[in-house]
Amino acid sequence: MTNNKLQITNNTKITIFKFKYLIFGIVWSLVLGSWNFASAITGNEIINKVDANMTYGTGRFETTMVINVRDQVRTKKMVSWAEGRNKSFAEFTYPARDKGVKYLKIDDNMWMYLPSVDKIIKIAGHMLRQSMMGSDFSYEDALESNKLREKYSIKLIGEETASITEKVEGEEKKVLYPCYVLDLTAKVKDVTYWRRKIWVHKGTFVPVKEELFAKSGKKLKVMTLSRIQKYGKRYYPLYMTMENLLRKDSLTEMFVDKAQFDVRLPAGIFTQRNLRK
Amino acid sequence: MLLKLAFRNIFRHFTRTFLTFLAIAIGLMFLILMDSMLTGIDQESFDRIINYETGHIKIFDRGYREDEENLPLDKAIDNPAPIVAQVGKASEVAGITGRINFRIMLSDGVDQYPAVGIAVDPKDDESVFRLKQAVDKGEFLNEGEEAMLIGEGLAEDFAVDVGDYMTVLTRTKYDTYQALDLRIKGILRTEDPKIDWAAIVIPLDLGKESLDMGKGVTEIDIKLKDPARIEQFREMLAKEIPAMEIATWKDLAADVLAIAQAKRGGTSVLLFSVFIIALIGISNTILLAAFERTREIGMMAAMGMRRGQIVRLFVLEGAMIGVFGSITGCLLGFLLNIPLVTYGINWGAMMRDIGDVGYRITGASRGVWNIDMFVIAFIAGIVISALTSIYPARVASKMEPTEALRKY
Amino acid sequence: MFKIALRNIFRNKRRSILTGLSIAVAVMIAIYMWSLVEGIMDNLFDNTIRMTSGHVRVLNTNYVKREKMLPLEANIQDYKPVEKIAAANPDVTLAAGRIKFGVLLDYKGNNKPVFGTGIIPGLEGKISRLDQKIVSGRMIEPGKEEINIGANLANDLGLKVGDTLTVVTQTAYGSLGAMNLKIVGVFSFGVVSIDKTTFFMPLSKAQQLLDLEDAVTEIFVFVKDMDKAPKVAQEIQNNLNQIYPDQYVTRTWRDVGFYWAYMRLAKGTYAVIYFLVLFLASFTILNTMYMAVLERTKEIGMMKALGLKDGQVMGVILLEATLVGGIASFIGAIWGSGVAYYLTVVGIDFTATFETMGNFNFPISSIYRAIFSWGIIFFGFCMGILFSIMAAIPPSLRASKMEPTEALREI
């Protein structure tokens, strides 16, 4: 905890300040007989920090996606650019079968380009529910993760150390992350997942683990982010997994092979025209 | 006078009379029973649809049917209670209930398979549908249970049985992911493939809650006491609840109806031929008998009876035999139709004795009570007998008495 | 005796005709209805066999369990040797690899499920007979990015020959496969479920689209005698197990759903109905003949006076019944086969009715056709005679027991 405090410049003072308050708060509430944990840092505030961390001006990434379904392993590679949280462009480069397939996302809209037929397809309606390239991510998942504050009421319910399985150079190891545990419950009706549980790493404010639930409370998917690397002021996870609990032995991994921030974006990259190029 | 003579004639040629009478009775009985059986067979396929899928009439929200393939939850009847209360009061209504139909993926943890979910009200679903009786293994659902019934075919595909758990994956009305782990409480065997091979059933309250439907249902189902009055009832409904869309089972059961239409043509032809055969049988006996009485006719002419009287005599005889025959025929038909309607014929069991049918199809059908047929048969018996008596009487009475006497 | 019977018949033509009439009608009905029902069922099976099940199919063991999902990954890899093993069986006339896959076509904002089949065009003549069903354009050619779609499908999508259809689907390995396929021909099988939801494309291109190199999803096998299919299926599976243990299974045309059972049930039901109709007809004969016998007391008396014994009298009457029944059955058979023939050629056209119906899943042709079967005709004919003879027994017995004196007294 101490190490991280030194690295976080802006937030440190506020954190210490808030901790003083916390002690006051504990005493005060003990006296009054009510325990209000939220007077320290609130769920919303944590999410704000998560967002702040994940928002960058521009970025370019080279990623390897590994899809594990039962006993099959499929590997794909892609290059992507992003501007803020709202614009992104991705192009698959491997295998030959998928090479040239491109995706464009602007705000709530997503398009896909298939080189074999030279066609741009808008992903809308029922298509959104389909999985992306056979992975455990659905198009919906990609679109909704920005809207947490709009759609959910966020509560900090405790602290826990999460054990995340990380893969580096083919080797697996378990890494411990002390986290804030947030419970998100839908406050509007049109959400995809009624409830989410997020473990936010206290030091880096990277949500290292997220569980997605159906309305009945059944856990549907588990996502993890780890191998956190510091880039300037930000922390970026280089290893991501998504597990679809309803499909047996189904796991998708994303390895970020290269990440660059504040890069110069190619001109006209977030356009449909660029899909065709 | 003629009447007395006719009466005496009948008993004089008792064997002939009896044979004619028998032809009429058996022929009519056959006609009635055949009609009952064939109509029953046709009806059976409709019955299955009516008893498990459509009821007699359904009420939908406007716009639901257009999109029906997708089973849209957002085009539901949001507040069914007042409609149910209002419509349920009508005297023609035998039963009324609400259901929710929704698309699901059924999962056993390994495989997912698309299917249809039906949320039914355990209390009053049986006033319209026969789902409860179709539970082949296990038990029917109760309110408030977190359990499901599964069609026989699906259970076989997934190799699951009563007591096993399955996950029902679906989306709520607002498109939120929903997943229900439900215990299989019973296995359904309706012989309707749309259910046995493609559906699971859950209690209505569980459905309303899990799908975030509030008080809403996707359809209101109605069973009528007298299905023959279905169109009048539909018109009345349309006036009472103009905002809703109303569909009868005929609207809803398109493909079965198509095949049935085809079959019905064949059935009519079959019945008509039975009628013709019976007709031939009756006229045969009358003609034969009458032509053999040429000598008798000759004697009557010789004794001074006029042609017209002779013809009338024969017609009277024919009619009288016809009356007796018709009464007996209808009575026999009535009596034998009772077990036909009550127990029906289990074609499947019959076939099984002959050879392997293959799949487990019962294929039982019941007779029906078709009053029209009884009336037609009754009248036909008398009319045919009377009419066919005219011909030979006229022919024979035209002959010279001496010629007639000489004939044998 | 024969001569006597013959003379008796012609002596009173009216009586003979009346006796035979009901049998003629019954035989006619039985023959034509049976031909029609048989024709319809044959059609159902034929369509199912040609499009879905073949006589026998070779499938990946894992495919069978999840067949409804059309799982492409559970395929037959390197299929040619497998095909050869199946073809080697002496009862097999044809073994051809095929790919069956599902596609969700985006149509008016909704997903329209459609089925594609990858075929070898040259062999289709013996399988689905696609070459004969083309109504506009031509059949696809191997190795080209071409497609044949059903007439109803073309209508629904607003496409015609010359247009291009882009097919996007998930490949066997989770990628997205897409191909622009030129519509070179539109087909019509006259079966709504086929014309509305299926299309054909060359096998090699399907393999390319779906990432199925050298693989197929099933091998269609046709045999000489389809009733031997189960035996052949077992043999093929055994042979395959020797080289590819437990990898492949076979399925026959009878395993498809419950059609088989349903059809047999329907056939059985109709058979019972025919018998009932014939029974009524024979009762009519019995009645008529009995009446006739009573009237012919003098005739019978004469016969006995001439020296005929009781048994012979019975024989004469029975012979009469046989002859009359025979002629009547013959007439009924001709009549019935005429109707059947008409229905074979013209059929009963339900096209209009079926097209308006939405989801029609039964693979039945829209035009109901009877089949022309000498077997059915002969059987109907024989039944007619049989029932005639049976019906004649009681009256002939009565006739044989008549006393000559009784008869002669009538005069």
Instruction: Judge whether residue A201 has pLDDT over 90.
Output: yes
Residues C191 and C114 in one domain: yes
Q: Do A97 and C175 touch (CB under 8 A)?
A: yes
Which residue of chain C comes nearest to A98, CA vs CA?
A: C175
Q: Look at chain A and report how many structural domains it folds into.
A: 2
Is beta strand B345-346 parallel, antiparallel or unpaired with respect to B364-365? Answer: antiparallel
Q: Do A191 and B174 touch (CB under 8 A)?
A: yes
Residue-level pLDDT at A34 = 36
Give the confidence band of B199 by pLDDT, cuts at 50, 70, 90: very high
ipTM: 0.75
DSSP string, B49-71: HIIIII-SEEEEETTTGGGGGG-
Domain presence at residue C190: yes
Q: Do C69 and B111 touch (CB under 8 A)?
A: yes
Q: Do B176 and A216 touch (CB under 8 A)?
A: no
Q: What is the average per-residue pLDDT within C121-148?
A: 91
Classified as helix, coil or strand, B38 is helix
Domain presence at residue A270: yes
Q: Do C291 and B259 touch (CB under 8 A)?
A: no
Q: Which of B108, B176, B209 to mutate to test binding with chain A, by most A CBs within 10 Å of its CB?
A: B176
pLDDT higher for A205 or C12?
Answer: A205
Residues C78 and C36 in one domain: no
Domain presence at residue A18: yes
Q: pLDDT tens digit string along A241-262?
A: 999 888 878 899 999 999 888 8
Domain presence at residue C64: no
Instruction: Judge whether residue C258 has pLDDT over 70.
Output: no
Q: How far apart are CA B300 and CA B355, in angstroms?
A: 62
Q: What is the average per-residue pLDDT within B154-167?
A: 91
Report yes or no on whether pTM surpasses 0.80: no
DSSP state of A239: E
Could you tell me if A216 lies within 8 Å of chain B, comparing CB atoms?
yes
- Set of chain B residues whose Cβ sits within 8 Å of the Cβ of A218: 167, 179-181
Q: pLDDT tens digit string along C76-103?
A: 988 999 999 999 989 999 999 999 998 8
Residue C33 φ/ψ region, left for φ over 0, alpha for ψ in the -120 to 50 degree band, beta for the rest: alpha
Which C residues in the span 105-124 are in contact with A, Cβ-Cβ below 8 Å?
A: 106, 109-111
Domain presence at residue C224: no
Residue-level pLDDT at A16 = 47
Domain presence at residue A196: no
Q: Do C73 and A72 touch (CB under 8 A)?
A: yes
Can you give the three-state secondary structure of C160-200, one letter per residue? CCCCEEEEEEECCCCCEEEEEEEEEEEECCCEHHHHHHEEE
What residues have CB less than 8 Å from B45, skipping those under 6 apart? B256, B259, B260
Domain presence at residue C272: yes
Q: pLDDT tens digit string along C166-218?
A: 888 888 877 788 889 999 999 998 887 888 889 999 999 999 999 898 999 99
Of B175, B178, B210, the CB nearest to A190: B175
Residues A140 and A268 in one domain: yes
Domain range annotation of chain B: 2-47+258-406, 63-242
pLDDT higher for B295 or C134?
Answer: C134
Could you tell me if B69 lies within 8 Å of chain A, comparing CB atoms?
no
Mean of the per-residue pLDDT values of chain B: 84
Domain presence at residue C251: no
Structural domain of residue C394, as residue ranges?
Answer: 2-48+259-409
Domain presence at residue A63: no
- Set of chain A residues whose Cβ sits within 8 Å of the Cβ of B169: 214, 246
Q: Which of A191, A216, A248 to mutate to test binding with chain B, by most B CBs within 10 Å of its CB?
A: A216
Subunits in contact with chain A (3 or more CB pairs closer than 8 Å): B, C
Number of CB atoms found within 10 A of residue A161's CB = 10
Domain presence at residue A60: no
Structural domain of residue A124, as residue ranges?
Answer: 78-145+263-276
Residue type, A272: Q
Q: pLDDT tens digit string along C359-384?
A: 556 677 777 778 888 888 888 888 88
DSSP string, chain A: -HHHHHH--HHHHHHHHHHHHHHHHHHHHHHHT---GGGSS-HHHHHHHHHHHH--SEEEEEEEEEEEETTEEEEEEEEEEEETTTEEEEEEEESTTTTT-EEEEETTEEEEEETTTTEEEE--GGGGGSBGGGSS-BHHHHHHTT-HHHHEEEEEEEEEEEEEEEEETTEEEEEEEEEEEEEEEESSS--SSSEEEEEEETTT--EEEEEEE-TTS-EEEEEEEEEEEEETTEEEEEEEEEEETTSTTEEEEEEEEEEEESPPPPTTTTSHHHHH-
Residue-level pLDDT at A257 = 92
Could you tell me if B349 lies within 8 Å of chain C, comparing CB atoms?
no
Q: What is the CA radius of gyration of chain A?
A: 20
- Set of chain C residues whose Cβ sits within 8 Å of the Cβ of A101: 176
Domain presence at residue A4: yes
Q: What is the average per-residue pLDDT within A160-177?
A: 88
Q: Among C216, C242, C271, which residue terminates a domain?
A: C216
A157/chain B closest Cα distance in angstroms: 23
Instruction: Judge whether residue C259 has pLDDT over 50.
Output: yes
Could you tell me if B159 lies within 8 Å of chain C, comparing CB atoms?
no
Of B109, B167, B174, the CB nearest to A189: B174
Domain presence at residue C54: no
Q: Do C268 and B269 touch (CB under 8 A)?
A: no
Give the confidence band of C14 by pLDDT, cuts at 50, 70, 90: confident
